[in-house]
Amino acid sequence: MLKDYKNQALAGIWGGIFFSGLGYLLTSTSSVLYVNFGYLILTGGYVLFVLGCFMYSRGKGYSWIVGMLGFLGPLGLLLLYCLKDHSKRILAKRTKEA
pLDDT in tens, 75-98: 999 999 999 998 888 788 778 876
Q: Report pLDDT digits (tens) over 18-42.
A: 999 999 999 998 888 889 999 999 9
Sorted by where each begins, the domain ranges of the chain are: 3-97
pTM: 0.88
SS (H, E, C) the chain: CCHHHHHHHHHHHHHHHHHHHHHHHHHCCCCHHHHHHHHHHHHHHHHHHHHHHHHHHHHCCCCCCHHHHHHHCHHHHHHHHHCCCCHHHHHHHHHHHC
